[in-house]
Structure 1
Amino acid sequence: MNSLLTNAVAGLTAGGAYALLGVCATFTFRLVAVVNFAGAAIGASGAFAFALLVEVGTPIWGAAIAGLLFGALVGVLIGEIMTRWFAEASTSIKAAVSTALLVGVTAVGLRVTGGQRPHEFPELLSGSAFRLLGVEVTNTAIAMLGLAMLFTLLIGLFLNRSHVGLQLRALSERPAAAELIGIPVHQLSLWVWAIGGAATTLALMLIAPQRAPNFLGLSLLVVPALASALIGFFRSFWATLLGGVVIGEMESLISGFSGLGAYRTAVPFLVIIAVLLWSQRGGRWDDAR
């Protein structure tokens, strides 16, 4: 029983990271209609900028701020490509371009960071927050969950209560009409990409010390991120957050069973398949009748 609780608590950090990454993916899709397969690679760029700066002696919080800014910059560069040349493209074409950008950013990232050679990622928030039934709950786990919930709450308030948020909603629903009435579509789109880049960078900086710290490994966290977003059908931020936490917990609990731990990374794929099958249940039922 204690081992299950230990694994459940350990899964909070991954679950919070998946939730934050998934909310960022939903945020990008809802506002600029892009399934952002390159999202985690953008965050990995910022996270590795942070790690490389720390390696050369930069103070940890100065390096963290620089990493966030670099992640936002890479997000803007990706957004410039998507907005300038593919704004009117179909969702499937945008997804294909996003996948190509994932490959490109990952290839460049592996080249710059020395391939699969791991790097030392310092913990931004080390130590234990409190003990739950004898199991330590880390500061990182609490921070990750708190950030995911705060980001989700702020996005909802921003989109529904602020003038800029209303403009962004108009951009997502009627981009051509929004531009005709004077809404700065291009600039707002780039802000969406910048915010997503900074948020994914923060998530990866926090989770990187617990993962294989190489560029490819962090870039592939796009899979649980998109699985979380799919649970919310790329519409509901709160369902996405819950989905991310559940996926993280499922991975952690499975790793506690002998012989199953090696298959923990298959959980997001199984979730994606299950959600897609569930979404098609009506058509399947009609065919069966």
Structure 2
Amino acid sequence: MNALLTSAVAGLTAGGAYALLGVCSVFTYRLVAVINFTAAAIGAAGTFVLIALSEAGMPLFPAVLLGLVAGALIGVTIGFVMTRWFAEATASSKAAVTVALLVGMVAFGLRVTGGQHPHHFPDLFPGSAFRLAGVEVTNASALTIALAFLFTIASDLFLNRTRTGLHLRALSERPMAAELIGVPVQRLALLVWGITGAVTTFSLMLIAPQRSPDFMSLSLLVVPALAAALIGLFRSFWMTLIGGILIGMIEGMTSVFGSLNQYRGAVPFLIILAVLLWLQRGARWDEAR
């Protein structure tokens, strides 16, 4: 039992990142009606800008700022593609476009960054914050979890308590009607893409030192992020937050079982399958009634 608790605490680092990325995915979906498969790839691109500038000798703080700007600009660029040419497409078509963009970004990113060539990932916040169940919780882990909570609170308040949030909800639900009544649809949509691009970039900057040092591995963090978002049904920020943290803890607990540890990467896929089967069960139950 102690080993399971220790492993679960060790999984908080990944869980915080999954939660933050998942909340960003819900934020994007609720405001621009796009399931964004490129989210982690955008963050990976910004992170590798930081790495390239750091390896070139630039001080850490300006390199981080430029990496965040790069992530935001890449997010805005993808947002422009989606709003310019696919604004009236169905949700499934938009998702397919972001999958295609993900494949292209990964291929280009691996080419530019040298594939599996190792890189030094700077630790932005070194040191330990506190001990929990005998495990050192790093400053980066604590900050990632704190950011996930803050972004969840901010997103919830923004959507429900502000005029701009109401405009953005109108943009998601009725984009043509929102444009007709004077809502600056494209500017607000690009703002959403830019904000989520910067936030995902920062979250990957924090978690990158603990992950495999290549562009593809960071880009595929979108899978546990979408698993967390699916737990929240792409509606609830709080359920997504809890789901992301739980996925990280479950992954951590698999390390206790030697035979299962090599399959820890399959945990998000199993969760996605379980949630989809549960939703399908609910639909069949409704039909039967």
TM-score range, shorter chain: over 0.9
CA contact (8 A) 2:126 2:140 kept: yes
1:98 corresponds to: 98
2:143 corresponds to: 143
Q: Please tell me the residue identity of whatever aligns with 2:248.
A: G
User: Helix, strand or coil for the counterpart of 2:11?
Assistant: helix
1:214–1:194 distance in 2 versus 1, CA, 3 Å: same
Quick one: percent identity of the two aligned structures? 67
Which stretch has the larger CA shift, 107-116 or 278-287? 278-287
Q: Deviations over 1:25-63 (max 9, x none)?
A: 111111111110111111100011111111111111211
1:119 corresponds to: 119
2:28 corresponds to: 28
The count of corresponding residues between Structure 1 and Structure 2 is 289
In the superposition, the TM-score normalised over structure 2's length comes to 0.97
Shift of 1:4: 2.6
Q: Deviations over 1:108-142 (max 9, x none)?
A: 11111111212110111111111224332211111
Shift of 1:284: 3.5
**Alignment partner of 1:186 is 2:186:** yes
Q: Write the distance in 2 (CA, Å) between the matches of 1:131 and 1:96.
A: 43
Q: Deviations over 1:115-174 (max 9, x none)?
A: 121211011111111122433221111101000000010111111222211211111111
CA contact (8 A) 2:6 2:133 kept: no
2:110 corresponds to: 110
Q: Map of 1:260-271 to 2, 5 A cutoff? A: 260-271=260-271
Q: Deviations over 1:167-196 (max 9, x none)?
A: 111111111110001110000000010011
User: Helix, strand or coil for the counterpart of 1:119?
Assistant: coil
User: Helix, strand or coil for the counterpart of 1:15?
Assistant: helix
Q: Write the distance in 2 (CA, Å) between the matches of 1:14 and 1:153.
A: 20
1:176–1:123 distance in 2 versus 1, CA, 3 Å: same
Q: Map of 1:140-219 to 2, 5 A cutoff? A: 140-219=140-219
Shift of 1:199: 0.8
User: Helix, strand or coil for the counterpart of 1:28?
Assistant: helix
User: Helix, strand or coil for the counterpart of 1:131?
Assistant: strand
Q: CA RMSD in A?
A: 1.4
CA contact (8 A) 1:5 1:135 kept: no
**Alignment partner of 1:274 is 2:274:** yes
Q: Write the distance in 2 (CA, Å) between the matches of 1:118 and 1:83.
A: 36
1:243–1:187 distance in 2 versus 1, CA, 3 Å: same
User: Helix, strand or coil for the counterpart of 2:263?
Assistant: helix
Q: Deviations over 1:48-91 (max 9, x none)?
A: 11111111111112111111110000000000100000000011
1:62 corresponds to: 62
Structure 1: gaps of 5 or more residues: none
Q: Please tell me the residue identity of whatever aligns with 1:16.
A: G
Q: Write the distance in 1 (CA, Å) between the matches of 2:254 and 2:67.
A: 33
Q: Write the distance in 2 (CA, Å) between the matches of 1:183 and 1:8.
A: 46
User: Helix, strand or coil for the counterpart of 1:280?
Assistant: helix
Q: Write the distance in 2 (CA, Å) between the matches of 1:268 and 1:224.
A: 5
Structure 2: gaps of 5 or more residues: none
Q: Write the distance in 2 (CA, Å) between the matches of 1:192 and 1:69.
A: 14
Q: Write the distance in 2 (CA, Å) between the matches of 1:88 and 1:287.
A: 30
1:238 corresponds to: 238
Q: Please tell me the residue identity of whatever aligns with 1:175.
A: P
Q: Write the distance in 2 (CA, Å) between the matches of 1:288 and 1:173.
A: 30
Which stretch has the larger CA shift, 218-227 or 152-161? 152-161
CA contact (8 A) 2:9 2:133 kept: no
Q: Write the distance in 1 (CA, Å) between the matches of 2:165 and 2:286.
A: 40
In the superposition, the TM-score normalised over structure 1's length comes to 0.97
Q: Write the distance in 2 (CA, Å) between the matches of 1:10 and 1:133.
A: 9
